[in-house]
């Protein structure tokens, strides 16, 4: 049985990595999927196009070129979902970027870029989608936080600040929209093997081995580990869960 039949989902940053896996999994579960991203093709050469995966699943799909920091573009992406598929049920705020600097070394423009995409983008997409989600019988918002939205780490001050903001925005929106029956939850992944960290993984074998060893379930995650949780949070099975931040981290934050 498909768990997302007759649902319309909008996935930001859905062309690559975790978003690509989430969008494809939603399609396999019967959803119509709008991918809102600054690019159509995946970032890594060995990643499959999300649209090929959605075609393979016989899912309806639409690409809308969208920068989540641009309020007009975000509104147009939501409008495209509604005009193409008749409404919106699921918003996944997944688009995100990462730079690694301690606070005193962070170029201020990179602090602004990270918080703009990760936090302001999540806010703008939610703001645009909520009026449509209020009309849905199955409304869900799923935000991509991080283990670094729950605890510090990675010498990445701006990223931690942005993801901490995403975690608490999630909690507050869950309270604001409980009466509208919009479930608002976040996923806090540990290190997941994507373009976001490919250079770090390739260039720092000793640190990488150390980080893997420090993970109680001693491996890094795959995008599909996160996609399975996103399907659960998008489905009716999670109707009584809201305001939660679900860790997908092999036990990292349990320590």
Binding ligand NAD (rule: CB under 6 A), the pick from 68, 82, 161, 231 is 68
- Sheet harboring 61-65: ordered strands across? 61-65, 32-37, 8-12, 90-93, 140-144, 183-189, 245-248
**Is residue 18 involved in binding ligand NAD (CB under 6 A)?**
yes
Please calculate the CA angle 26-27-28 and round it to the nearest 5 degrees.
Answer: 90
How many CB atoms are closer than 10 A to CB 140?
Answer: 27
**Is residue 122 involved in binding ligand NAD (CB under 6 A)?**
no
How many CB atoms are closer than 10 A to CB 89?
Answer: 25
141-180 positions binding ligand NAD, by CB under 6 A: 144, 146
Say how far apart CA 184 and CA 89 lie, in whole Å: 12
- Rounded to 5 degrees, what are φ and ψ at 129? -85, -30
Binding ligand NAD (rule: CB under 6 A), the pick from 10, 26, 54, 96 is 96
Please give the structure tokens belonging to residue 73: 């573009």
End-to-end Cα separation, the chain, in angstroms: 37
- Which range in 61-69, 104-112, 131-139, 235-243 contacts ligand NAD by CB under 6 A? 61-69
| Least distance (Å) between residue 114 CB and ligand NAD | 9
| Least distance (Å) between residue 142 CB and ligand NAD | 11
Binding ligand NAD (rule: CB under 6 A), the pick from 106, 136, 183, 197 is 197
* 3-state secondary structure at position 114: helix
| Least distance (Å) between residue 13 CB and ligand NAD | 3
Q: Is 98 a catalytic residue?
A: no
DSSP state of 181: T
| Least distance (Å) between residue 240 CB and ligand NAD | 25
**Is residue 192 involved in binding ligand NAD (CB under 6 A)?**
yes
- Which range in 75-83, 125-133, 195-203, 211-219 contacts ligand NAD by CB under 6 A? 195-203
Spot the catalytic one: 85, 98, 111, 159. 159
What are the residue numbers of the active site?
159
């Amino acid at each position: 049985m498909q768990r997302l039949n007759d649902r319309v989902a909008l996935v930001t940053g859905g062309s690559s990595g975790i978003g690509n896996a989430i969008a494809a999994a939603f399609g396999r579960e019967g959803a119509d999927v709008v991918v809102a991203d600054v690019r159509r093709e995946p970032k890594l050469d060995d990643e499959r196009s999300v649209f090929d995966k959605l075609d393979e699943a016989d899912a309806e799909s639409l690409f809308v070129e969208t920068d989540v920091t641009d309020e007009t573009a975000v509104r147009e992406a939501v409008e495209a979902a509604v005009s193409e598929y008749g409404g919106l049920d699921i918003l996944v705020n997944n688009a995100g970027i990462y730079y690694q600097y301690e606070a005193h070394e962070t170029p201020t423009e990179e602090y602004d870029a990270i918080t703009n995409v990760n936090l302001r983008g999540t806010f703008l997409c939610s703001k645009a989608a909520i009026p449509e989600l209020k009309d849905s019988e199955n409304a869900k918002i799923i935000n991509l936080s991080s283990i670094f939205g729950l605890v510090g780490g990675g010498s990445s001050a701006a990223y931690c600040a942005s993801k901490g903001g995403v975690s608490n925005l999630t909690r507050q929106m869950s309270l604001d929209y409980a009466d509208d029956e919009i479930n608002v939850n976040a996923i806090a992944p540990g290190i997941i093997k994507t373009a976001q960290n490919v250079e770090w993984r390739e260039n720092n074998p000793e640190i990488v081995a150390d980080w893997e060893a420090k993970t109680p379930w001693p491996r890094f995650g795959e995008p599909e580990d996160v996609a399975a949780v996103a399907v659960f949070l998008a489905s009716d099975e999670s109707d009584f869960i809201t305001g939660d931040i679900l860790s997908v981290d092999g036990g990292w934050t349990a320590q």
